[in-house]
Amino acid sequence: MVSKIGKHGQRDHENAMKQDEAEVLALQALTWLAAEGDLLGAFLGQSGLAPADLGRAAGDGGLLAGVMDFLAQDDARMLDAARALGVAPERLAEAGARLSGGVPHWT
């Protein structure tokens, strides 16, 4: 899908990522993160969640937005996740923005 950015930085409505697409991508990112021991520990420490909380909260929009925000905080982390998931880092940023209600931002 080709996305176009309007003059106010907003994505054209017809090309905008849908909520369910963003959720699926964020769940994939969470699955990747769960397999990355040190990164998972850092995410849990930052979020205040316990490992047992992840399974129960995996479908929670706030958790999914938090996962995407965590990835976006570090360029190498974002690139590693994008590479592992086979998507452009901009797609991860777009999913994070969709889940948090903001405009996509990533370096």
* Confidence at residue 22, expressed as pLDDT on a 0 to 100 scale: 93
For residue 55, is pLDDT > 90?
Answer: no
For residue 35, is pLDDT > 60?
Answer: yes
The percent of residues above 90 in pLDDT, for the chain, comes to 55
Q: How confident is the model at residue 95 (pLDDT cuts 50, 70, 90)?
A: very high
For residue 107, is pLDDT > 60?
Answer: no
DSSP string for the chain:
----B-TTSPBPGGGSPPHHHHHHHHHHHHHHHHH-HHHHHHHHHHHT--HHHHHHHTT-HHHHHHHHHHHHT-HHHHHHHHHHHTS-HHHHHHHHHHHHTS-----
